[in-house]
Amino acid sequence: MRNTWIMWRKELNSYFVSPIAYFLLTMFAMVSALFFWLYLQDFVEYGMAMQMRGQAVPMNLNEQLIRPLLSTEGVIGLFLIPLITMRLFAEEKRSGTIELLATSPIRDSEVILGKWLAALTMYASMLLVAALNFAFLFKYGNPDWKPLAIGYLGLLLQAGALLAIGTFISSLTKNQIIAGAVTFGICLVLWVIKSVGQFETATWAQVLSYTSVLTHFEESFAKGVLDTKDAVFYVTLTFLALFFTARSMESLRWRS
């Protein structure tokens, strides 16, 4: 446990001494702020239009603003996750520092867990910066905080799974660019296969669409619904990817 914490600190430190952390934070904050502004404008215009027609339609911040914004943030995350994970192992392998870790009295699992937790912390701090948008909603409006908290939990679970996949990919290569590109490709595929289910109703299409990481977020967490089956989906995916990372680290030893 202590070793995991040491690795976590070291990894987090290396994010924040390089420009990558600040780039990620800025990108995520800017893009989510842009969408926040667009959704907010929609929301306000809709409200005014309803008023002019003299209809008293119930307006709901959670349903009409927070939910689409959370979904959008999940998608933005897809694009930035490869940038978070690509260096985790690829860099250690390239520079030979993996030899230091492998010959220190620390278990592979502790190394992997420390690195993955650092990546998750990086992502969480991105969410935190973007949470400033929601702070305004609480100041000028009256949204329910519970669905928002569940939404955030869902985003973290979703990112956890994708970051674990990215960690695995990074452990396969010495080249950061390859690790990043492959992770990005996988994230993209996991995103777009969602739409297969929308055009095709056959079983295979439903199964395929079920494997998309986004469906599990948009259909439950984003609505403020904590569904066990979706949480289990993410946790299972995370465990699987981290397990593969451990096997890949082990194989380093007999392949190299």
Partner 1 sequence: MFNLERFKHGKVRVLHTLISCDKPLMITVKELTKRYARNTAVDHISFEVGKGQIVGFLGPNGAGKTTTMRMLTCFLPPTSGGATVAGCDVLEQPLEVKKRIGYLPETPPLYPEMETGEYLTFVGKLKGLSGAELRKRVDYVCDRCAVADVKNKLLGRLSKGYRQRVGLAQAIIHNPEVLILDEPTAGLDPKQINETRDLIKSLGGDHTIILSTHILPEVEQTCEQVIIINKGKLVATDSVQNLQNRARGAESVLVEISGRNGSVDFAAVQRRLEQVAGVSRVVAKQSHGSRNSFEIESVKGFVRGDLARAVVESGWDLNELRPAALSLEEVFLQLTGNAQEAAPKESQ
**Residues 6 or more apart from 160 whose CB is under 8 A from it?**
116, 120, 234, 235, 238
Residue closer to partner 1, measured from CB, 58 or 105: 105
Nearer to partner 1 among residue 107 and residue 247 (C-beta): 107
* Separation CA 77–CA 222 (nearest Å): 14
Q: Is there binding between residue 121 and partner 1 (CB under 8 A)?
A: no
Residue span binding partner 1 (CB under 8 A) among the ranges 7-15, 115-123, 142-150, 190-198 = 7-15
* Binding range to partner 1, per CB under 8 A, among 9-17, 26-34, 67-75, 130-138: 9-17
Q: How far apart are CA 134 and CA 144, in angstroms?
A: 11
- From residue 11 to residue 40, what is the string marking binding to partner 1 with x (rule CB under 8 A)? --xx--xx----------------------
Within 71-110, which residues bind partner 1 (CB under 8 A)? 95-107
CB 81 within 8 A of CB 166: yes
Q: Verify binding: residue 254, partner 1, rule CB under 8 A.
A: yes
Site string for partner 1, 234-253 (x = CB under 8 A): -------------------x
Q: Per rule CB under 8 A, is residue 10 in the interface with partner 1?
A: yes
Pick from 158, 72, 87: nearest CA to 123? 158
Spatial separation of the C-alpha atoms in residues 57 and 120, rounded to whole Å:
40
CB nearer to partner 1: pick between 199 and 254: 254
Angle between helices 145-170 and 176-192 (to 10 degrees): 130
CA distances 224 to 146, 156, 189, 212, 214, Å, are 7, 14, 25, 19, 15
Binder of partner 1 out of 55, 142, 228, 256 (CB under 8 A): 256
Question: Helix 19-52 and helix 67-85: axis angle, to 10°?
Answer: 170
Residues at the interface with partner 1 (CB under 8 A): 3, 6, 10, 13-14, 17-18, 95-107, 253-254, 256
